[in-house]
Structure 1
Amino acid sequence: MRKLFSVAVVALFSAHAALAGSLVEPDVEPMIVEAQPEAKRGSGNIIIPLLLLAVVAAVIASDDSGGGTPEPVLE
Structure 2
Amino acid sequence: MKKIAIAAAFSVAATGAFAGSMEEPMMEAPVIVEEVEESSTSNGIIVPLILVALVAAAVAAD
Q: Same fold (TM over 0.5)?
A: yes
Aligned residue type for 1:39? E
Q: For residues 30-69 of structure 1, what are the structure 2 equivalents within 5 Å?
A: 30-31=29-30, 33=32, 35-40=34-39, 44-64=42-62
**Cα distance, 1:14 vs structure 2:** 0.8
Can you give the 5+ residue segments of structure 1 that lack an aligned partner in the other structure?
65-75
**Distance in 2, Cα, partners of 1:5 & 1:55:** 93
Q: Give the corresponding residue for 2:16.
A: 16
Query: Structure 1 length as normaliser, TM-score?
Result: 0.51
% of aligned pairs identical? Answer: 27
Taking a change above 3 Å as real, the CA distance of residues 56 and 24 of structure 1, as seen in their structure-2 partners, is same
Can you give the 5+ residue segments of structure 2 that lack an aligned partner in the other structure?
none
Q: Give the corresponding residue for 2:6.
A: 6
**Cα distance, 1:29 vs structure 2:** 4.3
Query: Structure 2 length as normaliser, TM-score?
Result: 0.57
**Alignment RMSD, CA only?**
3.1
**Cα distance, 1:10 vs structure 2:** 0.9
Aligned residues: 62
